[in-house]
Amino acid sequence: MSCTTTTSSSTNAFLTAQSFPSPQALSDWLRPRLPHDLPTWGVKPGTKNVSNLWLELSHGETVLQDTIPPRRTVNVATVNIRNLAGNVLIESHQELSDGSVRSRCRPLSEKMKAGETIREAAIRAVREELGSVLVSPDGVRVLMDSYSRKIEERDSGSYPGMPSCYILHSVDVIIKESLPEGDFSTQEEDEYAGSGGEVAKGAVVVRKHFWKWVPQQDA
């Protein structure tokens, strides 16, 4: 089944935050559809939990398709940053709030919010994930002529057992400031800090990003 972002009145309709008034409602809906995998969410190292998925839905970052197992669709901004030597910035791994470490090995990436343009998402991604090493995160230029789009379908690493469709929107970005030349790390403020409430407190979030420069052919 291929990715699509249109809604349907059939049993395979796409479901948004309006379908689930609380994380518990989402958990109740998921349980019979993922009876073996759901208990591992937030327990298996590197995974997220139902609160995370509910927050993604609430922020318009994810939609779910009513299938068994459920299918998740996410639009992702992929940001390509190069240094003067032509090497590409890659996130090697992340440290999560539960102490686990998750491998990444990909360029800076950020889930897009509903209605957000690729330019807006790319700038937000740089500010949120690299802002701690930038004196001013405002000097970001998105090269829209570099834009490309592709679709990847694979099981989610964050939510075991859930097949996911990733619509990847890729752009090159120039940052006026120089980033560190060697391997470095950045801190990220709680990505759901503005959400408030106990739901955000219960989510597994990224605390630290680890970056390295790699040759273009290895990116």
- pLDDT by residue for the chain (219 residues), tens digit each? 456 543 333 456 889 889 999 999 999 999 999 999 999 999 999 999 999 999 999 999 999 999 999 999 999 999 999 998 899 999 999 999 999 999 999 999 999 999 999 999 999 999 999 999 987 777 899 999 999 999 999 999 999 999 999 999 999 999 988 899 999 999 987 666 666 577 788 899 999 999 999 998 877
Could you list the residue range(s) of the whole structural domain that residue 208 is in? 14-218
In a domain, 145, yes or no: yes
5 within some domain: no
Distance, in Å, from the CA atom of 17 to the CA atom of 27, rounded to the nearest integer, reads 13
Q: Is residue 107 part of a domain?
A: yes
Cβ atoms of 170 and 80 closer than 8 Å: yes
Which distant-in-sequence residues (6+ apart) come within 8 Å of 179 by Cβ? Answer: 81, 83, 89, 130, 133, 134, 211
pTM of the prediction? 0.89
Residue 161 domain-assigned? yes
Q: In angstroms, how far is the first alpha carbon of the chain from the final one?
A: 29
Number of domains in the chain: 1
Partnered with residue 142 across adjacent β-strands are 173
Order of strands, sheet of 184-187, starting from the edge strand that comes earlier in the sequence: 101-106, 88-96, 206-214, 184-187
Residue 9 lies in a domain: no
